[in-house]
Amino acid sequence: MHAPRIKLSSQGPEFSRIVAGAWRMADWNWSPQQRLSWIKGCLDLGVTTFDHADIYGGYQAEAQFGAALALEPGLRRQMQLVSKTGIALVSSERPEHRIQHYNTRRQHIIDSAERSLTNLHTDHLDLLLIHRPSPLMDADEIAEGFHALHQSGKVHHFGVSNFSPRQFELVNSRVPLVTNQVEVSPLYLDLLHDGTLDQMQQLKIAPMAWSPLAGGRLFAAGERETRVREVLSNLASIGNAPADEAAYAWLLRHPARMLPITGSRKLDVIKKAVSACSLQMDEQDWFAVWQAASGHPVP
């Protein structure tokens, strides 16, 4: 079992279809050797793309990943590293932050990316994203930061996260973007209908999907969650695969060519996401999940 690979755009990088998210790594309380074993386990499954952000783990997760990678630096050639910038947290790690805010200024983008390179023990990022759109973002200034990082070889490709279609269009008019990392799951359907995924199809850009299992809410005891989970567990076209595996298959069925980001430290869970890549869900089963989540049939 091996995750397939996909190009994010015509000029973009090639990533594994399933992405390993490291945002909870600081909560795992693992040694560098344990984190290295997890990294190698992901690579063995063909999950070669790792998703980070400067703020994850209170600005600690990237350094923890990097400390593990430093034990076997040669593994860097087998992987793609993604990071994000633009959210400024109030933290002892950033005493200059008086209030939580967004910062998409040129120098902040450059400084954040360079700090990520140091923390991750790498000389380049394969992809850097603006984490969230700021009401004060200046598309020209973002482009200046991106161009400086690209010209220095420190970042190879750029994208955004949580951007509306209009916000994506604005930044993409200044600098080529290769993805929009957005929240989508069987419990969060908004992006199926607000034009975000339609725009990705139009531009032939593959979006990355965070929280594909709704942050674990898919397994909560609520009425809606139970209804969706029961439908996911009984889909004939994919052989009644487990609910979590079926949830990944449901996302992968969408023609926008999403790349789901797992958030688990358990390799068995990541393995299910990889297994979902080989499942072929038909339209009726896909809409059965949509109906369960929406609470009504299609109009």
Residue percentage of the chain with pLDDT more than 90 = 100
**Do residues 15 and 48 lie in contact, with contact meaning Cβ atoms separated by under 8 Å?**
yes
SS3 89: coil
- Select which of 56, 59, 188, 248 is catalytic: 56
| Catalytic residue list contains 56 | yes
Q: Would you say residue 1 has pLDDT above 90?
A: no
pLDDT of residue 112: 98
CATH homologous superfamily of 5-221+243-280: NADP-dependent oxidoreductase domain (3.20.20.100)
Confidence (pTM): 0.97
Residue percentage of the chain with pLDDT more than 70 = 100
Q: Would you kindly state where each structural domain of the chain is located, as residue ranges?
A: 5-221+243-280
Which residue(s) pair with 51 in the sheet?
21, 82
Rounded CA gap, 293 and 83, in Å? Answer: 31
C-alpha of 236 from chain center: 29
SS3 8: coil
Entry field: residues in the chain: 299
pLDDT 10s digits, 115-156: 999 999 999 999 999 999 999 999 999 999 999 999 999 999
Rounded CA gap, 29 and 158, in Å? Answer: 31
DSSP 67-122: HHHTTSGGGGGG-EEEEEE-EE--BTTBTT-SS-EE---HHHHHHHHHHHHHHHT-
pLDDT 10s digits, 221-242: 999 999 999 999 999 999 999 9
pLDDT 10s digits, 146-203: 999 999 999 999 999 999 999 999 999 999 999 999 999 999 999 999 999 999 999 9
Q: Once rounded to an integer, what is the mean pLDDT over residues 270-292?
A: 98
Question: Is residue 254 very low, low, confident or very high in pLDDT (cuts 50, 70, 90)?
Answer: very high
pLDDT of residue 263: 92
Q: Residue 137: how many CB atoms within 10 A of its CB? A: 21
Average pLDDT of the chain, as a whole number? 97
